[in-house]
Amino acid sequence: MDSRGQVEPRIVWAVVESGIGPLLLAASPGGLVNVVFHATDPVRDRAVERLASRLGTEPVEAPGSPLLAEAIRQVEAYFAGERRDFDLPLDWSLISGFNREVLRELASGVPFGTVVGYGDLAGRVGRPGAAQAVGMAMGANPLPVVVPCHRVVESGGGIGGFGGGLETKRRLLALEGVLPEPLF
């Protein structure tokens, strides 16, 4: 219950503006559970439906919720260049198994301003040769930006793929000083 004796919804969400466009942030009592790129109305609606289906409860738009306050503050600070990492409780319930293991390693072991190859990340979780599986884990990341899948690149120097689009990946890497800022 909140301070007014009201039951806090199990999943709350809000859309926040960022340097890469609108992001949907969703949280549960366990922590931030989802970040969705390009959160225009249709994308937002699909994301909320997907969350309801996967988590078994109807998410509620609640930008003022205490469950979201710190996540919103940290995301805004990151895009303002005032924060280099995130210190948030994360709810991993949308991902499991190998994918969760890889994403946890990524979150803890690849700091701001650095990159790692898909194969290198596979080796870090004891699965050398599983670079493609790491790529699949990056594509399944329910917490992009906060769990920095944009920092995973091809070993040959290519930027690799990205669920938010390659331009978004370039902008995130430029924000972190890995790539030069785009000229236009």
pLDDT digits (tens, 9 = 90+) for 51-74: 999 999 999 999 999 999 999 999
Give me the percent of the chain exceeding a pLDDT of 90: 88
Taking the mean position of all CA atoms in its chain, how far away is CA 99? 14
What is the per-residue pLDDT across 2-57, written as a single tens digit (0 to 9) for each? 455 555 569 999 999 999 999 999 999 999 999 999 999 999 999 999 999 999 99
From residue 150, give the alpha-carbon distance in Å to each of 14, 118, 167: 22, 11, 11
**Is pLDDT at 96 greater than 80 in this prediction?**
yes
| Catalytic member of 67, 125, 149, 172 | 149
H or E segment to which residue 135 belongs: helix 131-139
pLDDT of res. 5 = 53
Q: Which residue has the higher pLDDT, 161 or 93?
A: 93
Give catalytic status of residue 39 as yes or no.
no
126-133 long-range contacts, CB within 8 A, separation 24+: 127/98, 130/98, 131/155, 133/98, 133/102
The predicted model scores a pTM of 0.91
How big is the chain, counted in residues?
A: 184
Q: How confident is the model at residue 110 (pLDDT cuts 50, 70, 90)?
A: very high
